[in-house]
Amino acid sequence: MELDLSFNYLSNTKGIKGLNICYLNLNSNKITEIDEEFQTLSELMILLINRNFIETLEHLKKQQKLRILDLGSNKISSFNEIENLQNLLFLGEIDLCHNPIQERK
């Protein structure tokens, strides 16, 4: 199942708990954090969440089926956040462009 909630001025991800979806588009909202409810999306394979205000990736570390992750144009500034994704063995594509982390050396 797919769910497209892009361009809805959402400020959080509450209410997605337990949804049986493999594709979730949250592009171009006003989301400031990926809520812990994300951990219940056990079938999620594609997450598009660019053009938001995300700073942390802590609640993505249990997304074992995640293959594509688009985090472009957010507020990710620390390499420590990338470590939250290190055990996602199927993650083959990640977009972090236009985040403050790009400017770090």
pLDDT the model gives residue 103: 79
Q: For the domain that residue 41 is a member of, what is the CATH number?
A: 3.80.10.10
Please tell me the total number of residues recorded for the chain in this structure: 105
Check residue 63 and give its pLDDT.
Answer: 94
Residue 68 pairs with which residues in a beta bridge? 46, 93
pLDDT at 12: 92
Print the domain residue range for 1. Answer: 1-105
- As for how many domains the chain has, the answer is 1
Residue 24 sits at φ, ψ, to 5 deg, of -135, 120
User: What pLDDT sits at residue 102?
Assistant: 85
Query: Taking the model in full, what pTM does it have?
Result: 0.94
Best CA proximity match to 85, nearest among 66, 101, 99, 98:
66
Averaged pLDDT in 10-residue chunks for the chain of 105 residues: 97 92 98 92 97 96 96 96 94 96 77
CB atoms within 10 A of CB 23: 15
